[in-house]
Structure 1
Amino acid sequence: MTIEANRFLVRLKECKKIAAVKKPKQLELAVKYKDRLSGVFILTGNINLIKKYVELLRKEGLPTFVHIEKIKGLSNDKDGLDYIESFVKPTGIVTTKPSLIAAAKKRKLLTVQRIFMIDTEIIENLPELLEKNRPDIIEIMPARIPEIIQEIKEYTDNIPLITGGLLTEKQHAIKAIEHGAVAVSTSNVQVWKMDLTRELQFL
């Protein structure tokens, strides 16, 4: 694992928040609150702009991940990963496609596997999924089902769990972390501003 990847994992435990950037104008806000963020997930842009976005954030010391399926014009395959590794150069990728995990790790990209908890079958198939393609981090969506986090931790063999989606207030984030999430990812700028570590100390 690279030095930058290790630094992100440390920040994940310290700050407990990842900024999910869905609009270009949020990039400046992520920079503004960089000392309270573990890193950034980029969920916007296109093949012509993504390198610029990544460079801006990494220059500010923010570990940066590209959600490969959200970038317009970028193929969701090994060719797309080659482009990301050699040209864009983020810390890692976020993907919903298990097949991309092993290929990304070969390219020394930190991997976040995003999983949508739509039914119990997802949980039942999780051990097989992780055995075939072991990501560095698992992101459970949505965040408003904290009880599921505890259940999933039994299958993940110490892979760090984060959660995101539908986080509209501080208590949603705190509850997710209390139930076992290492951190939360959110596009809610109000949550970016919070010092969750301090909030958790006073509970």
Structure 2
Amino acid sequence: MASLVGVEMADRFTTTSTPLGILASVPLGELEATVRRTLAAGKIVFVNMDSTPGLGHDPGALAYLKGIGAIGICSTRAAIIERAGSLGLLTMQKVFVTDRSNLHRSLQGVARSRPDLVQLMPAVVLRYVEQQVRDLGVPYLAAGFVQGEADVVEALRHGAAGVCTSDQALWELRRSALRAS
């Protein structure tokens, strides 16, 4: 999954074969046009609500996103994930793991909000928390510090459905082409 930081990167994404992306750092005034361009290119994008300048974290923001054609949202906030799901938007909950107590609290939040996907950050912690994340029964993606093909293989080996990365060289990787996946 492509992690798209800004309008320029989102526009480059539309010319790739990568089907999924997360939009971040797209100013509110450019968000609708950017979402529409990605949709026109046949892409599915999640709008990162935590990294969209000018976009709030309230029901009005979710209604706005649905109104401009957004297919999904991404956030660390469980309440936003719950509301978005009730509106029919796809949901991805970001979980930043800093220590075991943080992991426990975050996974409780995920269990309550029931997102469609979990984005686990940083990817390097996956080997330590794989079982706890698998026990949620929600597909998860590894993100953060994904630096090359070996990191992608490692994440998949630990049960990730995929990875999120801003490294455009990794966007075109496919599971069938990876070594030892």
For 1:53, the equivalent position in structure 2 comes to 34
Please state how far the C-alpha of 1:149 moved relative to its aligned partner.
4.6
Q: Do the aligned partners of 2:20 and 2:43 also contact (CA within 8 Å) in 1?
A: yes
Secondary structure, in 3 states, of the residue corresponding to 1:172?
helix
Q: Is the 8 A contact 2:85 2:91 kept in 1?
A: yes
Larger RCO: 1 or 2 (CA < 8 Å, sep 6+):
1
Give SS of 1:55's match. Answer: helix
Pairing of 1:23-62 with structure 2 (within 5 A): 23-33=6-16, 35=17, 37-62=18-43
- TM-score normalised to structure 1 length: 0.83
What residue number does 2:54 align with?
73
* Alpha-carbon distance between aligned partners in 1 of 2:166 and 2:158, rounded to the nearest angstrom: 21
* RMSD of equivalent CA atoms: 1.6
Q: How much has 1:89 moved relative to structure 2?
A: 1.6
Unaligned runs of at least 5 residues, structure 1 = 1-17
Q: Pick the aligned partner of 1:187 from 144, 158, 166.
A: 166
Give the secondary structure class of the aligned counterpart of 1:103.
helix
**Which residue number in structure 1 is paired with residue 72 of structure 2?**
92
Q: Distance in 2 between matches of 1:126 and 1:116?
A: 8
* CA displacement at 1:197 relative to structure 2: 2.6
| 2:170 alignment partner, SS class | helix
C-alpha distance in structure 2 between counterparts of 1:126 and 1:19, whole Å: 24
Measure, in 1, the Cα distance between the counterparts of 2:98 and 2:157. Answer: 22
The whole-number CA distance in structure 2 between the counterparts of 1:120 and 1:144 is 14
Indicate conservation of the 8 Å contact 1:149/1:180, yes or no.
no
**TM-score, normalised via structure 2 length:** 0.92
Q: Which position in structure 2 is the counterpart of 1:21?
A: 4
Aligned-pair identity (%): 20
What is the correspondence of 1:113-192 to structure 2 with a 5 Å cutoff? 113-156=93-136, 158-192=137-171
Contact 1:21 1:40 in 2 (8 A): yes
Tell me the CA shift for residue 125 of structure 1.
2.6
Mapped contact 1:149–1:181 kept (Cα < 8 A): no
Q: How many pairs align?
A: 181
